[in-house]
Amino acid sequence: MILIKGGRLVLPEGIMEADLLIEGEKIAKIGKPLSPKKAQVINASGRLVFPGAIDAHVHFRDPEDTTKEDFSTGSASALAGGVTTVIDMPNYRNPPTTTIAAYNQKRIIAATKARCDYQLRFGGSEKNAEEAARSGAPSLKIFLSETRSELTVSHSAAVQHFATFPAHKPVCVHAEDKERIENRRKRFKLQSEIQDKLSAQLACEFSLREAAKLNRRVHICHLTTGLEIEMCRRYKNATYEITPSHLFLSTADLKRLGQLGRINPPLRDKAEQAALWRNLGKDTIIASDHAPHLITHKLDGAPGFPGVGTIFPLLLDAASKRRIRACDIARWCAENPAGAFYLKNKGRLAEGFDADLVIVNMKKKWKITAENRLSKCGWTPFEGKEIVGKIEKVFLRGKLAFDGEIVLSKPGMGRELL
């Protein structure tokens, strides 16, 4: 037994001063005071105790390109950042996760390497709707924009996936309009102009409209404009996510980042960045879209940022500045993704739930560096940023997984969530 004593428990509805008792893998009791015999006592006085974060959008690259990341390094970065569960995206190639054989191969690899809990997402292609539907995967990912791989789907193939994949399971959409982007590529040079906000809004509108016709679940990935959020809120079966990259960075940062600043969808201007902040609400999910590339690949134009290790710390810093509340973080990064992706007994500090929790000292300052974020890709767009809110301990199903300095969870300790 482990007793977390004297902490302030962060729930979506507010903060509760209470003790928390862990028995085995579960939260056994919450109350004040608790004093069971023979329990290991951890003093959390003056600390916030959060549910472990759930990052619903990561690319851990295994087995596609493990020079950039793999399940071991990616999940280590997750735990160091307070993330206890991740949902890994389908690989684009080598092999693409568009067959049951490739999906099962990833399951075997993740089972031996993952240090945190995880779920895997199947990939939709132009011709695999029936195979995707019988894969048994908890969710499906489709791309409406060019990926230079078989994961790009036409509108007709997207509709087929919407109709075929089980309606209660989310179809997750990378929503950018391929045809508009290709036409603009002939006239513009800047990525933010080629992949403009209308290309995202058109694809979002298409996805929501077609999903509504079938009364099915749909999840729109990495929204970058306030209008897209408003669209999602009009459809009862839609969920959506926003990335910290688009909340904390804008086109104003491209001068500093140069080629490192390329991401899909691209960074928007400060007006759209502000619109995202204004539209954060009770239905928001924040996910990193952790897409690690080596710097050499970034200089060659590869799009994507590492982010699984910074999603929770950046939000803690925002809470320290009173831009958001601590209970918002618990809702956006734990309860909402757990609900959207059917992660049973995850996402909340409650009796009977998995003992995934993060103890945070909100008085401590520290700096984000690539070294302390642990990703194999070796860089972060937030290098050197000083923030407030130090993660001191992370528990995964009742076991200490990160002690504030070292990841203690070993490869293979993560569990697949179906």
Known catalytic residues are 289
State residue 362 phi and psi, 5-degree precision: -85, 5
Ramachandran assignment for 222, one of left (phi > 0), alpha (psi -120 to 50 degrees), beta (any other):
left
Q: What share of the chain is helix, strand, coil (3-state, %, to 5)?
A: 35, 25, 45
- CB distance 171 to 144 below 8 Å: no
d(CA 21, CA 41): 9
State residue 247 phi and psi, 5-degree precision: -80, -40
As a whole number of Å, the end-to-end CA separation of the chain is 27
Q: What is the DSSP string of 185-246?
A: HTT--SHHHHT-HHHHHHHHHHHHHHHHHHT--EEE-S--SHHHHHHHHTSTTEEEEE-HHH
Q: How far is CA 259 from CA 82, 190, 302, 317, in A?
A: 29, 11, 9, 26
State residue 87 phi and psi, 5-degree precision: -115, 115
